[in-house]
Structure 1
Amino acid sequence: MRTVGVEEELLLVDPETGEPQALSAAVLARAARDDPSEETFEKELHTQQLEFATAPQADMTQLGAEIVRCRKEAARVAGDIGATVVALATSPLPVSPSVSMNARYQWMVEEFGLPAQEQLVCGCHIHVSVESDDEGAAVLDRIRPWLSVLTALSTNSPFWQGKDSVYSSYRSRVWMRWPMAGPTELFGSADAYHRRIDDMVATGVLKDRGMVYYDARIAERYPTVEIRVSDVCLEASTATLLATLTRGLVETAAREWRAGTAPAAHPVELLRLAAWRAARSGLEEDLLHPLTMRPAPAGDVVRALLEHVGPALDDSGDTDPVHKAATDLLRDGNGARVQREILERTGSLGDVVRECVRRTQT
């Protein structure tokens, strides 16, 4: 059974006003004081963020419990210094981001300017184990058309600097300012993958290989592929659904590779349009169908994903919980819809954040 690990980036906010707070250093210091061996939490580019990483899990119920535990522990530590955490991919309220005191991050701001300075966005990165870089490259080639569906499921960033962006995932649009981000052409082999990374680093635009921000990549530090297209999800249950579907995609792709099934040859231009459509529409309107790259209702596209990974879900015992979670999400809406409904009901972006704080920790 492939193991899965989840990295989530959370916003640090004032529990009363909902405004982002530049307190990551204090939170990390508090966590280290409580437990010097604590390695769950890390700093991110901006001081208004806190990142955690789960331990790898083979059982998705256990992974879901680990996500909930990490979120609650983050809230506890932040609460000790008068803040709290919220799983929002952008701040609904206006914010002036501040960059962490870190040589790497300072270099990024000096090199890239405003796009780096303004990049206060929170994503969810999902690591799925692979047996080798050869398998990893084959997986990357075969999951490309389906990644936009994961974005649509996760959308949780409709607001930007106090205004409705009209997008369901504005985070993903902000993220695409990076010149090394986005979908990729086919690699064909692990050697070709690594040559392309080497060529990118050789341009001097990137500081190192860790700055290759592909939608999906072979991880540098772990024997995994890392899928990076999702907003941080408002509900832990949605993050668990995304992780389970991602494992299903990786397993399905690996089986196709071993069977000699060629990857779909969609050009990167269409993949970029599919990603844009998912960010714009979320689950509320049509998406581009991964098989045809033509518009189709979001529900039909999600069901196509479930069918595509069906055998892998059956073999891991995840079919029933995934189908229920997907059905519930299509019916009730994801974070983007929830945020807009709260604003429509209350008229207050502060209320949006406060309600989302509650949902983050349940």
Structure 2
Amino acid sequence: MRTVGVEEELLLVDPETGEPKALSGAVLARAEQSGTDAGVFEKELFGQMLEFATHPQADMKDLGDEIVRCRREAARHAGEIGCTVAALASSPLPVSPSVGRGSRYRWMAEQYGIAVQEQMVLGCHVHVAVESDEEGVAVLDRIRPWLSVLAALSVNSPFWQGKDSCYDSYRSRVWSRWPSAGPTEVFGSAERYHRRVTDMVSSGVILDEGMVYFDARLSQRYPTVEIRVADVCLRAETALLIAVLARGVVETAARQWRAGHPPMDHSVSLLRLAAWRAARSGLGEELLHPSTMRRLPAETVVAGLLQHVEEALGESGDLERARAACDTLLDGGTGARIQRELLERTGSLREVVTNCARLTQE
């Protein structure tokens, strides 16, 4: 059974006003002092953000429990210095991001200018174990069309600088401004993948391999494929769903490779259109079906994803869990929809943030 790990970025906010607070350094210090959470939490580009990483897990119930525990521990450490955490992929309230210290972050700020200041968005990255770089690149080539559906399930960033962006995932539109971000062509081999990464770093446009922001890539640190398309999810069970489906598409892709089935040859241009469609309306309207790249109702496309991974999820015991979680989201449970409903009910973006901070820890 392939192991799966999750990295989530959380927003640090004032528990009363909902305003983002640049206190990640203090929260990290508290976590280090606790002893039990040393190494779990990490700093991010901005002081208003806190990241955690789970251990690799083979059992999805164990992974879900760890996501919940990490969120609650993050909230506990934040509460000790007067703030809390919210799993929001963008700040609903206006914010002036505070770029972290260090030569790497300074280089990024100087190189990319205002684009860095506009990059305070928060994602969920899923690591799925692979046996080799060859298997990993074969997986990357075959999961490309399915990533937009994972993104649609995760949408959780409708607001930007105090306004409705008209997108369900504005985070993804902001993230796409990085010169190395987005979908990739079919690589065909690990050698071609690594040559492409080397050429990108050698260009000088990006600082190092860590800035290769493909939608999915080989991890630098772990023997995994890292899927990077999801917003950080408002509810922990949605984050778990993304992890379950990520393992499903990776396992299915690996089986296709071993059986000699070639990847679908959709162009990067079409994959970008699919990503835009997913970001624009999430599960609320239509998506591009990964097989045909033609518009279909979101529920039909989600059903297609579940059918695609049915064998893999059935063998891991996760199929019914995934079906139930997808039904919940299709019935109106996406983070973006919940945020908009909170605003409609309360009339206050501050109330949106404070309510979402509570939902983060459930």
TM-score by length of 2: 0.99
Give the letter for the 2:51 counterpart.
E
Aligned residue pairs: how many?
362
1:100 alignment partner in structure 2: 100
After TM superposition, list the pairs within 5 Å mapping 1:158-237 onto structure 2. 158-237=158-237
Give, in angstroms, the shift of residue 221 of structure 1: 0.6
Question: 1:109 — aligned with what?
Answer: 109
Distance in 1, matches of 2:5 and 2:277, equals 27
Deviates more, 1:123-132 or 1:30-39: 30-39
Distance in 1 between residues matched to 2:229 and 2:138, nearest whole Å = 18
1:274 shift after superposition: 0.3
2:107 aligned partner, one-letter code: W
Q: Secondary structure at the match of 1:181?
A: coil
Following the alignment from structure 1 to structure 2, what is the Cα–Cα distance between the partners of residues 274 and 51? 28
Aligned residue number for residue 309 of structure 2: 309
Q: CA RMSD in A?
A: 0.8
What residue identity is the alignment partner of 2:147?
A: L
Aligned-partner SS, 1:167 = coil
Shift in Å, 1:332: 2.9
AA at the equivalent of 2:163: K
1:206 to partner: Cα distance: 1.1
- How far did residue 49 of structure 1 move? 0.2
CA deviations over 1:107-136 (Å, ceiling 9, x no partner) = 101111111122110000000000000000
Instruction: Look up the SS of the partner of 2:85 in the other structure.
Output: strand
Question: Per the alignment, do residues 36 and 339 of structure 1 end up closer, same or farther by CA in structure 2, a change over 3 Å counting?
Answer: closer
* Residues 29 and 312 (structure 1), Cα distance of their counterparts in 2 relative to 1, 3 Å cut: same
2:253 alignment counterpart? 253
Rounded to whole Å, the distance in 1 between the matches of 2:171 and 2:37 is: 32
Letter in 2 for 1:256: Q
1:21 aligned partner:
21
Amino acid at match of 1:338: I
Q: Secondary structure at the match of 2:240?
A: helix
Please state how far the C-alpha of 1:37 moved relative to its aligned partner: 6.8
- The residue that corresponds to 2:274 in the other structure is 274
Compared CA separation, residues 334 and 37, structure 1 to 2 (3 A): closer
User: CA offsets per residue over residues 149-178 of structure 1, 9 Å max, x none?
Assistant: 011000000000000000000000000000
Deviation of 1:333 after TM superposition, in Å, equals: 2.3
Q: 1:329 Cα shift?
A: 1.3
How far, CA to CA, are the matches of 2:20 and 2:139 in structure 1? 37
User: Partner of 1:334 in structure 2?
Assistant: 334
Partner residue, 2:155: 155
Asked if 1 retains the 8 angstrom alpha-carbon contact of 2:31 and 2:37, the reply is no
SS at 2:278 equivalent: helix
4+ residue runs over 2 A deviation: none
- Rounded to whole Å, the distance in 2 between the matches of 1:164 and 1:102 is 33
Contact 1:285 1:298 in 2 (8 A): yes
**1:36 Cα offset (Å):** 7.8
CA contact (8 A) 1:20 1:91 kept: yes
Give me the identity figure in percent.
69
CA distance in structure 2 between the aligned counterparts of 1:168 and 1:225, rounded to whole angstroms: 26
Check the 8 A contact 1:283/1:333 in 2, yes or no: no
Deviation at 1:33, TM superposition (A): 1.7
Q: Per-residue CA shift, 1:85-108, capped at 9, x if unaligned?
A: 000000000000010112111110
**How far apart, in 1, do the equivalents of 2:226 and 2:37 lie?**
25
Q: Deviations over 1:181-226 (max 9, x none)?
A: 0000000000000000011011011111111000000001100000
